[in-house]
Chains A and B, each alone.
Chain A
């Protein structure tokens, strides 16, 4: 079935460090891929998305590229800030039926 696997956290970084969170998916067909973020005390919100192979989603300095050949959608940011401390979820929507499936989440803690 369709599933999403992402690296476990927590990931602890210093401010201005480079962040990568790995995400791979299994799916029939070509799903749309998403990164959602959950800041402390807040609800889930969309960070970025990509709807087809080789698309790059970007927002707030974060980027992720839809790699069909490796079934991956890794999240990257070149220089993190304390305000980026949150839980990040990789997700997919399969082509048929609009079912939205999440990975387990990765907690990121950025220290000053």
Chain B
């Protein structure tokens, strides 16, 4: 079974530039998560989708971050404009619906803003 695919693996941009990350979840997984993991910290949930609807985006900095999952399958996360403090690993995960379902994670995209 294919896992969660993310691209790119690494990205270096200058502050005030824009960047987009892509995620393809495991087939059949209705729930998709985007997390931000700053070095030395635990993953922080940015946004959670159930199919193509947003379940939770309370910690998404909406002035600069946006995400979509138009067809309820793959998803993109965008940052525009980027700030130095956005340097982090961006993780995508997916799971089946239902409490207790395991979330499967992609390898992440390491973003460096200079």
Contacts and interface: CB of A to CB of B under 8 A. Distances in A.
| Genuine A/B complex | yes
Interface of A: 4, 31-32, 34, 43-46, 49, 51, 89, 93, 95, 97-105
Interface of B: 31, 33, 35, 40-45, 48, 50, 55-56, 91, 93, 95, 97-108
Given A93-B100, A99-B48, A102-B35, 8 more contacts: A34-B102, A45-B105, A89-B42, A95-B99, A100-B45, A100-B95, A102-B43, A105-B40
A41 B20 CA distance: 23
Contacts, number: 61
B56 A99 contact: yes
B108 A43 contact: yes
Given A100-B45, A100-B93, A102-B42, A44 B105 contact: yes
Contacts of B50: 98
Contacts of A44: 43, 91, 93, 105
